[in-house]
């Protein structure tokens, strides 16, 4: 792991075979890749959860990545009490633990409060502190461990740019890579934590970036865009009987993006569960998103493209989301 103190790096710009790309990830998950903390797993998760937020050059900013990183670690450390490095005799903590515990004390946050419930200005401050400290080691370390083929990065300009070959590869195998990452991360956490906190560890890792309160999106879609019919069955919805649904399931996308959220009646939401809607609804969503892009000037739609939505739908099918759902009765 020599790359940890690099200021910038450029990915190998040559054709890569599938075997070479697998071997870049196999290395991260092998015992040759040394981990005194869980940072590499956390940073890889931050990239995977942001995979569909890239700009047209496949770039992600450090703000995008380290906001997710801060959220994941806040929930693992403060909500679930999971240590991120082995216990030492002087009880030394990792930087991420130091930053988050000190933020909780400065801002007087009660025990067990999830990241999404923190006030917006405090979230921005915490994410900034995490970025300033963690960008120094984490970005270069994963760059090096993926054999300098996954992404380029600049610490000064604060971005990573994913190798297009690797981007396609990771989109195709996202679910498998994510599961491998959780497996190795869980193994690491089991070693450094007491048995009492490692129960349901895989769920804790997977849910560490999940927001449970989507009411802000409900308000945007219901009030601002005045949608008052269920996106799927067309039944009228009321502000008491309305749910925000991830069109492509959250378990695949792992993020809340306006372009992927629709209002649904509770019946459709319950019956759809973790399935992809029929292609007819994909076309309908593309039309809905066209209207949002044209008529409302929203920052969170800046990187949205119809073709990308169709690609993500395709990749979800490739990744095992091949059971297609339709509402039983359409009004
Ligand atoms: Zn419905």
CA of 201 to the centre of ligand 1 (A): 34
Q: What's the pLDDT score for residue 87?
A: 86
CA of 114 to the centre of ligand 1 (A): 30
CA of 254 to the centre of ligand 1 (A): 23
Mean pLDDT throughout 248-253? 96
CA of 280 to the centre of ligand 1 (A): 15
CA of 306 to the centre of ligand 1 (A): 24
> Which ranges of the chain does DSSP label H, i.e. alpha helix?
18-28, 39-49, 62-73, 95-106, 120-134, 138-145, 164-172, 174-192, 201-207, 215-219, 250-253, 266-272, 279-295, 306-318
SS3 60: strand
Q: What's the pLDDT score for residue 4?
A: 67
Tokens 């929203």 — which residue? 298
Predicted confidence band at 52 (pLDDT cuts at 50, 70, 90)? very high
CA of 234 to the centre of ligand 1 (A): 6
Taking only the tens place, the pLDDT of each residue in 142-201 is 999 999 999 999 999 999 999 999 999 999 999 999 999 999 999 999 999 999 999 999
- Count of alpha carbons within 13 angstroms of residue 17, beta-carbon side: 3
CA of 178 to the centre of ligand 1 (A): 31
Mean pLDDT throughout 40-57? 96
Q: What's the pLDDT score for residue 326?
A: 96
The residue ranking higher by pLDDT, 295 or 121, is 121
Q: What is the rounded distance in angstroms from the CA atom of residue 116 to the CA atom of residue 215?
A: 12
Helix 164-172 × helix 306-318 angle, to 10° = 50
Q: What is the mean pLDDT of the chain?
A: 93
Measure CA 196 to chain center.
Answer: 27
Q: What's the pLDDT score for residue 104?
A: 96
SS3 135: coil
CA of 267 to the centre of ligand 1 (A): 6
CA of 227 to the centre of ligand 1 (A): 13
Is residue 45 within 8 Å of 72, Cβ to Cβ?
yes
Q: What's the pLDDT score for residue 186?
A: 96
Taking only the tens place, the pLDDT of each residue in 207-224 is 999 888 898 898 888 877
CA of 52 to the centre of ligand 1 (A): 27
Q: What's the pLDDT score for residue 3?
A: 66
Measure CA 160 to chain center.
Answer: 15
pTM of the model: 0.94
Q: Where are the domains of the chain?
A: 3-207, 215-325
CA of 60 to the centre of ligand 1 (A): 35
CA of 154 to the centre of ligand 1 (A): 46
CA of 214 to the centre of ligand 1 (A): 18
CA of 275 to the centre of ligand 1 (A): 15
CA of 243 to the centre of ligand 1 (A): 10
Mean pLDDT lowest among 64-78, 87-101, 127-141? 87-101
CA of 231 to the centre of ligand 1 (A): 7
CA of 271 to the centre of ligand 1 (A): 9
User: Which value, in Å, is the radius of gyration of the alpha carbons in the chain?
Assistant: 21
């Amino acid at each position: 792991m020599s790359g940890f103190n690099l200021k910038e790096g450029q990915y190998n710009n040559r054709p890569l075979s599938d075997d070479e790309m697998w071997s870049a990830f196999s290395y991260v998950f092998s015992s040759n890749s040394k981990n005194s903390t869980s940072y590499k797993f956390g940073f890889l998760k931050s990239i995977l959860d942001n995979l569909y937020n890239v700009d047209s050059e496949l770039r992600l900013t450090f703000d995008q990545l380290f906001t997710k990183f801060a959220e994941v670690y806040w929930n693992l450390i403060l909500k679930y009490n999971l240590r991120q490095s082995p216990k030492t005799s002087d009880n030394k903590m990792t930087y991420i633990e130091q930053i988050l515990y000190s933020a909780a004390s400065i801002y007087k946050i009660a025990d067990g409060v999830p990241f999404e419930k923190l006030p917006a200005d405090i979230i921005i401050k915490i994410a900034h502190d995490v970025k300033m400290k963690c960008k120094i080691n984490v970005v270069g370390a994963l760059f090096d461990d993926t054999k300098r083929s996954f992404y380029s990065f600049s610490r000064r300009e604060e971005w990573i740019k994913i190798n297009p070959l690797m981007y396609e590869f990771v989109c195709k195998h996202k679910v498998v890579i994510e599961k491998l990452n959780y497996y190795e991360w869980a193994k690491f956490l089991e070693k450094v934590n007491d048995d009492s906190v490692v129960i349901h560890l895989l769920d804790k890792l997977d849910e560490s970036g999940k927001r449970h309160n989507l009411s802000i999106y409900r308000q945007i879609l219901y009030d601002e865009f005045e949608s008052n019919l269920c996106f799927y069955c067309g039944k009228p919805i009321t502000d008491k009987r309305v749910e925000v649904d991830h069109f492509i399931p959250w378990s695949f996308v792992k993020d809340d993006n306006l372009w992927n959220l629709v209002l649904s009646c509770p019946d459709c939401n319950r019956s759809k569960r973790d399935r992809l809607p029929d292609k007819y609804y994909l076309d309908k969503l593309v039309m809905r998103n066209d209207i949002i892009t044209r008529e409302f000037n929203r920052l969170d739609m800046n990187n949205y493209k119809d073709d990308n939505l169709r690609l993500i739908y395709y990749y979800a099918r490739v990744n095992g989301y091949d059971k297609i759902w339709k509402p039983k009765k359409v009004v």
